[in-house]
Amino acid sequence: MQPVALAAVDYIILLAYTAFVIGIGFALRRYMKTSEDFFLSGRSIPAWVTGLAFISANLGALELVGMAASGAKYGIATSHFYWVGAIPAMVFLAVFMMPFYYGSKARSVPEYLKLRFDERTRCLNSITFAVMTVFASGISMNALAKLLNQLLGWNYNLSLWICSAVVLLYVFKGGLTSAIYTEVLQFFMIVLGFTPVVYLGLKDVGGWDAMKKTLASVAQDPGTLELSEKTFAPEAWSSAWQPLLGGPSANPMGVDIFAMVFGLGFVLSFGYWCTNFLVVQRAMAARNMSAARRTPLIAAVPKMLFPALVILPGMLAVTLAWTAKDGYRLPPRLIASSAYAPAIEAVTKAAAQAPEAAFEAVGKAVGLKLNKIKVAALVAEHAASPLEDETLRGRLQDAVVENDYDGVILSLVKKYCPPGLLGLALTALLASFMSGMAGNVTAFNTVWTYDIYQAYIARHKSDAHYMWMGRVITVVGVLLSIACAYFASNYNNAMDIVQLVFGFVNAPLFATFLLGMFWARTTAHGAFYGLLGGTLTSALFHALTLAAGNTAGIKGGYAGVVWSFPSEMAQNFWLASFAFTACLLLTLGISLATRRTKSDAELGGLVYSLTPRIRDEEQAWYLRPAVLGAILLAGCVILNYIFW
């Protein structure tokens, strides 16, 4: 695969964008007077800005790349991550939970836990959250730098350090405000940068209906494109719900409808959107309660429409690959550079072997699934007259049939963008990366400074001291994420374990918040031990279950396989459901058995039944969260109906 060369015009666009995001940081520097300004934007930002920042912080590079990948692998059912797995939770956050986050004047989500329960729960939550954000940004940095390296030939180290330096510079100067403002700019950049690519792709395949028709053929024979070993009903890629209704074997995700609706739609989605400080922090920076509550609702509008921008490209890629239009194919996995020498040796030896054994030997040396005909042709040609190493490498790579789904989005950018538009689309990709990273960095520096440093290390210091700490930890946070990126590029398996462990902690978390906010009787003991119990349940569940096609080990089942799931996704959704239920029941039980340590007065503003209702009757109807939420949910139902 030839890396694309950028023209001068592309670099100008890239530089213009970089100059503007850094410029915003410098312009905001003079407004950073107190630590509240730095960590919370002085709670002064209008709702449309926090709303777009809310969604932009969530729309990191991994989301963009990963959703296109899922669009190719699973088709339109991927939209459930949006219409089932996001919108309802965002509406719930706005209507029911925001009053407590914003109203309690907590400066972070862990701090809310401290106000509601006690130090232990906060400590557990803040430390896991802080470590998790660093790892999350490291993983996405690694993925991006690798992608840029493979597809554009950019130097891995250089892209890693330059991108991080830009983010560091503007967050260091302008704190959360700067992150939020640039996120709004990045939001528009992402939307305006990818729209023309999707438009061209859709035009190229002949429109929506033509794509649907092709996808029907794909579904009946996905093996041709190495998408799946099974075959499906024609609508498996182009209908959101019908394949799910047929049970886990009827859809490429391998998920049943209960896991989808309860596991993803309730447990995982509410757990992410309603408790993750990364997004909640944006709403906490809003200028007043009403703006804070409108933040997730404003964010929900683009979120609802994003599938067209991020999932559709994956479906388009599959369609193009099926018709092999202009020779397009899904990007293949790259052969590791260390595998070339043994592979070439295997090809050389192959002429003397039986075709079947030769094919197997070459495949083993390469380490990836290969195309039999292409390998046989290569072996024959090489035996007739020895080929150059360079040619051999190219031919071997060409023979790889395993798909690298993460490359799908960039393969479309390469296919459709002439110089000019190419610069814009790449800038959009970098913008998504930076918005995600800045989100992680600002959430990390706040939690570190307020919930770890101020709470346990240096209690009664001046405000200026904490602001200084915030700047220092911003630098440290970025450096730690860079370290994590290198770690991820070298020890992929170790990274999987780390993510797994965080998954265990996050799965039950929403139960703790739900009971804490809506049941005054929940005690500090109940919350802490319930959360611990939920986490242990996830670990245990993981140890005892396995997804089909995986071997016992890091993917689960290392303590014996009690239950096996049709896919990893199903395993994840069910794990979350179990952990949530365990945490809920344990917290309930322990709370009933222990004493409350906080009085009703202390819980005012923190618990639903002890907080005066917010009266929003004076507001115009179109500004009331409940009304807006209902409209959004209705829109969501309509979308599900259209793509049923």
Partner 1 sequence: MGLDIRWPIGIMFALIGALLVVYGIVTNWDAELYARSLGLNINLRWGIVLLGFGAVMLAHAWRAQRTAPPAGGGSQK
- Residue ranges in contact with partner 1 by CB under 8 A: 9, 12-13, 16-17, 20, 23-24, 27-28, 30-31, 37, 41-42, 44-45, 49, 177, 181, 184-185, 188, 192, 196, 200, 203-204, 415-421, 424
Rounded to whole angstroms, what are the CA distances from 530 to 168, 450, 567?
Answer: 38, 25, 28
Nearer residue to partner 1 within complex by CB, 221 or 463? 463
Identity of residue 424: L
Minimal distance in Å, beta carbon 242 to partner 1? 32
- Which helix (H) or strand (E) element contains residue 563? strand 563-565
Nearer residue to partner 1 within complex by CB, 36 or 235? 36
Minimal distance in Å, beta carbon 6 to partner 1? 13
Both tokens of 581, joined, read: 């239920």
Beta bridge partners of 556: 553
Nearer residue to partner 1 within complex by CB, 17 or 513? 17
Minimal distance in Å, beta carbon 416 to partner 1? 6
Minimal distance in Å, beta carbon 375 to partner 1? 31
In terms of Cβ atoms closer than 10 Å to its own Cβ (0-12, 13-18, 19+), residue 540 is: middle
Secondary structure letter of residue 546 according to DSSP: E
Nearer residue to partner 1 within complex by CB, 45 or 347? 45
Cα–Cα distance, 2 to 414 (Å, whole number): 10
Nearer residue to partner 1 within complex by CB, 17 or 232? 17
Minimal distance in Å, beta carbon 9 to partner 1? 5
Cα–Cα distance, 291 to 283 (Å, whole number): 8
Nearer residue to partner 1 within complex by CB, 201 or 503? 201
Nearest to 115 by CA among 508, 597, 531, 448: 597
Minimal distance in Å, beta carbon 471 to partner 1? 18
Nearer residue to partner 1 within complex by CB, 36 or 111? 36
Minimal distance in Å, beta carbon 421 to partner 1? 5
Minimal distance in Å, beta carbon 3 to partner 1? 16
Cα–Cα distance, 444 to 453 (Å, whole number): 12
Helix (H, G, I), strand (E, B) or coil at 59: coil
Cα–Cα distance, 50 to 462 (Å, whole number): 28
Residue 331 near residue 321 (C-beta atoms within 8 A): no
The 3-class SS string of 99-132 reads: HHHHHCCCCCHHHHHHHHCCHHHHHHHHHHHHHH
Rounded to whole angstroms, what are the CA distances from 74 to 48, 71, 78, 484, 573?
Answer: 33, 5, 6, 30, 16
Listed in sequence order, the residues at least 6 apart from 23 whose beta carbon sits closer than 8 Å to its beta carbon are: none
Nearer residue to partner 1 within complex by CB, 52 or 358? 52
Cα–Cα distance, 432 to 434 (Å, whole number): 5
Minimal distance in Å, beta carbon 418 to partner 1? 5
Nearer residue to partner 1 within complex by CB, 219 or 417? 417
Nearer residue to partner 1 within complex by CB, 288 or 597? 288
Helix (H, G, I), strand (E, B) or coil at 616: coil
For 286-310, b where at least 16 C-beta lie within 10 A, e where not — what string? bbebbbbbbbbbbbbbbbbebbebb
DSSP helix, strand, coil percent of the chain (3-state; round to 5): 75, 0, 20
Q: Within 10 A of 252 (CB to CB), how many other CB atoms are there?
A: 22
Minimal distance in Å, beta carbon 406 to partner 1? 22
Residue 263 near residue 269 (C-beta atoms within 8 A): no
Beta bridge partners of 545: 563
Minimal distance in Å, beta carbon 24 to partner 1? 6
Nearer residue to partner 1 within complex by CB, 286 or 370? 286
Residue 398 near residue 23 (C-beta atoms within 8 A): no
Nearer residue to partner 1 within complex by CB, 312 or 365? 312
Nearer residue to partner 1 within complex by CB, 48 or 161? 48
Minimal distance in Å, beta carbon 177 to partner 1? 5
Token pair 């260091």: residue:
172
Minimal distance in Å, beta carbon 295 to partner 1? 15
Both tokens of 369, joined, read: 């699934």
Q: What is the DSSP string of 133-201?
A: HHHHHHHHHHHHHHHHHHHH---HHHHHHHHHHHHHHHHHHHHHHHHHHHHHHHHHHHHHHHHHHHHHH
Identity of residue 10: D
Listed in sequence order, the residues at least 6 apart from 325 whose beta carbon sits closer than 8 Å to its beta carbon are: 204, 205
Nearer residue to partner 1 within complex by CB, 53 or 132? 53
Nearer residue to partner 1 within complex by CB, 203 or 461? 203
Minimal distance in Å, beta carbon 13 to partner 1? 6
Residue 362 near residue 377 (C-beta atoms within 8 A): no
Minimal distance in Å, beta carbon 288 to partner 1? 12
